[in-house]
Amino acid sequence: MLHLKVFTNNGQQSAVEKPWRDQKWNEESLETYKPNRRPNVGTANILLLGQIGAGKSSFFNTVNSIFRGKITSQACIGSFGHSVTLKYRQYRIIYRRFSLCDTRGFEEDAAVDAQELLFILDGNVPDRYQFNPMVPFTYHTPGYIKNPALENKIHCVAFVIDGSTVDEMSDKILKQLKDLQITVNQRGLPQIVLLTKVDKICPDVNADVTKTFTSSAVCSAVEKVANIMGLPRARVFPVKNYENETGLVVGINILVLEAMKRCLDLADDFIEEQV
């Protein structure tokens, strides 16, 4: 039986007999995707939640790049010690019937307000709303959407977690993740985890992203995050965002599209229940 050598986080080699998750490394797409065949819900909305620097905005840029057929950077990204996302954005993927909604990242000493998150989940917050930590969003905030339709609400939440720092997350960050999850659970929304920066977890994956599911280091990170979030491992998707690449890479596309497909399937289920 074939044994594949991979590296763990401490640099030691380990062997796996077969991939820990099945994956066909062929080009795939969401060309035929529609969020729900009911006419009163035209767009599925996926909310990205995560710590600053985890790769929320980069994930949108990656998805957008895949569907545009070239590397794009519509959402502002960077590493400045504070959240680069200063506005609530509903990015609709061109020619597709789903949106990726980006909100400010949280920090150890700057949590996402639970009531503000509920307003986002319920569709009360308008696109391009400017966050102001000194003046939280309320019923009286200009632009407040009083009676949002189901199409305006969030249908699935994707927690974005930096896979390369899973072992370094502080108690404050872990508590914030769980607090956010409690708020999301109040609305009964389906959830997945986008485990980003898998190329920084394992040297083999850094060299070839198709080694993701034969990497014991990535597998270990998936298990840790699943335990932290209390979600099945099948809800944790290792992904790599476009960062240094100048052109599209099939392996990166496949990881991202697999995660998106699951998000959209869960969103469809939620929409079906609401309708």
Write the pLDDT tens digit of every residue in 134-159. Answer: 888 899 999 999 999 999 999 999 99
Q: Which helix (H) or strand (E) holds 101?
A: strand 98-102
* Residue with more model confidence, 21 or 79: 21
User: For residue 160, is pLDDT > 80?
Assistant: yes
Confidence band of 38 (pLDDT split at 50, 70, 90): low
pLDDT at position 209 is 95
Helix extents (H) in the chain: 56-68, 114-121, 171-186, 203-207, 216-229, 250-274
Q: How confident is the prediction for the chain on average, in pLDDT?
A: 85
Confidence band of 27 (pLDDT split at 50, 70, 90): low
Under 8 Å between Cβ of 75 and 89: yes
pLDDT at position 16 is 62
Mean pLDDT confidence for 240-266: 93
pLDDT at position 9 is 47
